[in-house]
Chain A
Amino acid sequence: GDSVTQMEGPVTLSEEAFLTINCTYTATGYPSLFWYVQYPGEGLQLLLKATKADDKGSNKGFEATYRKETTSFHLEKGSVQVSDSAVYFCALRRGGATNKLIFGTGTLLAVQP
């Protein structure tokens, strides 16, 4: 079945460091891919998305490119801030009549000043 695999955390970085969180997926057809962010004590918010191969999603300095050849959707940011500390979830949606999301296990990012 469809699945999403994320790198294990926690990831601890100093402010202004470069961030990569790896995400790979297994799915039939052409899924849409998402990154969600969960700040402490809150629900999930959509960070960025890509709906077809080679699309690049971007938001708040974060980027991810839909790579069909490597079935990957890695999240990157050039310079992290303390306020980026959160749990990041990679997810896919296969589409069709429903709108089910399949999530990875989440990666905790802790940014230190």
Chain B
Amino acid sequence: NAGVTQTPKFQVLKTGQSMTLQCAQDMNHEYMSWYRQDPGMGLRLIHYSVGAGITDQGEVPNGYNVSRSTTEDFPLRLLSAAPSQTSVYFCASSYSKKGGRSSLYEQYFGPGTRLTVT
């Protein structure tokens, strides 16, 4: 079990460039999400997905796109990078609600991608 994997670990972009942050999990989790971590702000939810083909916006979705064509993968796309998107990005996954069993809710986080936009 590799858990949640993210690539790349580090990335530097110029303003206006596009890129895709990759996230994959091998735990057959239905729920996947992307967060960004900024100093003094904790983690903020960007987008999330409750299953293949279903995505929704989180707290700070502007400037980011997502898709979920398979259960395993949940890529995050920056269409036109801006300096305000300099951050550390974390992907997370978990089971969704199954019969109200709260023990299935634990979210597993990837190691993060540190993105700098100049």
Contact = CB atoms under 8 A, between A and B. Distances in A.
Interface residues of A, number: 24
Contact of B105 (A42, A89, A99): A99
Interface stretch (B11-19, B42-50, B78-86): B42-50
A101 B102 contact: no
B94 A43 contact: no
- Is the contact region of chain B dominated by helix, strand, or loop, or is it mixed? strand
Contacts of B74: none
B102 A51 contact: yes
Contacts of A44: 43, 90, 92, 109
B33 A49 contact: no
A80 B50 CA distance: 38
B45 A45 contact: no
Nearest to A99: B31
Interface of B: 4, 31, 33, 35, 40-45, 48, 50, 56, 58, 90, 92, 94, 96-97, 102, 105-107, 109-112
